Amino acid sequence: MICLILQSCATSKPPELTSNSPLAYSLNETKEGLIVAVNPVTDKQGETKWFGKDILADGLLPIQIIVENRNASRSFIISKEEVLLKSASSGVTTTSQQATIGNPTPGLVTALVLPNPIIASFAISAAAHEQVMQYNLGERELAKQTISPNGHADGFVYYQFPKSKPLDNTILITVRIISLGTNNPISFEFNVPLQHNTP
């Protein structure tokens, strides 16, 4: 029974990350042949699709960053460290938060021993699900990468906010992309209105 629960948790990964052209999103900007779009996922259906649960309820807002390089002669570097997230209400600027929910303990699934098989089953199931969640967040996080001509990149950054307070109505997102060779940054700025929908 425990093995079945663990197998179910381990195989419940959401689908692979996909995206459209940056121009398909309402929040997009083009500079020097680069097209950048930001897509905050504020609906429960979208969060469940990509992460398996409503992570906004855990104080993390996932924001998808989509980049397309239509510059025929230049390559660029993008990383999550160059995405700045600023609260419009407090003025506090942060980078993407570590892609974890809670504090899962490495090895908890294999090390956990409880006398009651039913209790053990539920505890191991919860622990396995937490580790799957951490993996899903990290797997989808925006990775540092080089975007060659005609190349494409996408991934999520995570804006953390206190669960005891409502989500900001607006956040300011700055995506800085470095031109390979010159190391000059190109900044894309977005004033992002937010609304948490839970249909």
| Minimum mean pLDDT range among 35-44, 100-109, 155-164, 179-188 | 100-109
One-letter identity of residue 44: K
Structural domain including 147 reads 22-99+142-193
Give the pLDDT band of residue 78 (cuts 50, 70, 90): very high
15 occurs within a structural domain: no
42 occurs within a structural domain: yes
The C-alpha atoms of residue 30 and residue 23 are separated, in whole angstroms, by 9
The C-alpha atoms of residue 193 and residue 22 are separated, in whole angstroms, by 18
64 occurs within a structural domain: yes
185 occurs within a structural domain: yes
Of 83, 58, 98, 48, nearest in space to 192 by CA: 83
Average pLDDT over residues 37-45: 87
Q: Is the pLDDT of residue 68 over 90?
A: yes
148 occurs within a structural domain: yes
Whether the pTM exceeds 0.85: the reply is no
Q: From the centroid of its chain, how far is CA 50?
A: 9
Q: pLDDT digits over 97-141, tens only?
A: 554 444 333 332 223 333 444 433 333 344 444 544 555 677 788
pLDDT for 127 equals: 45
167 occurs within a structural domain: yes
Average pLDDT over residues 52-70: 87
Q: From the centroid of its chain, how far is CA 159?
A: 9
Residue 47's φ and ψ, nearest 5 degrees, are -65, -40
pLDDT for 4 equals: 40
Average pLDDT over residues 168-194: 90
Q: How many domains does the chain have?
A: 1
Q: pLDDT digits over 42-52, tens only?
A: 888 877 777 77
The C-alpha atoms of residue 150 and residue 67 are separated, in whole angstroms, by 10
pLDDT for 134 equals: 58
| Helices marked H in the chain | 2-10, 44-51, 108-111, 117-140
131 occurs within a structural domain: no
- Exposed e or buried b per residue across 76-86, where buried means at least 16 C-beta atoms within 10 angstroms of its C-beta: bbbbbebbbbb
The C-alpha atoms of residue 38 and residue 71 are separated, in whole angstroms, by 20
Give the pLDDT band of residue 20 (cuts 50, 70, 90): confident
Residues facing residue 69 across a β-bridge: 34
Domain of residue 28, CATH code: 2.60.40.3880
128 occurs within a structural domain: no
Give the pLDDT band of residue 151 (cuts 50, 70, 90): very high
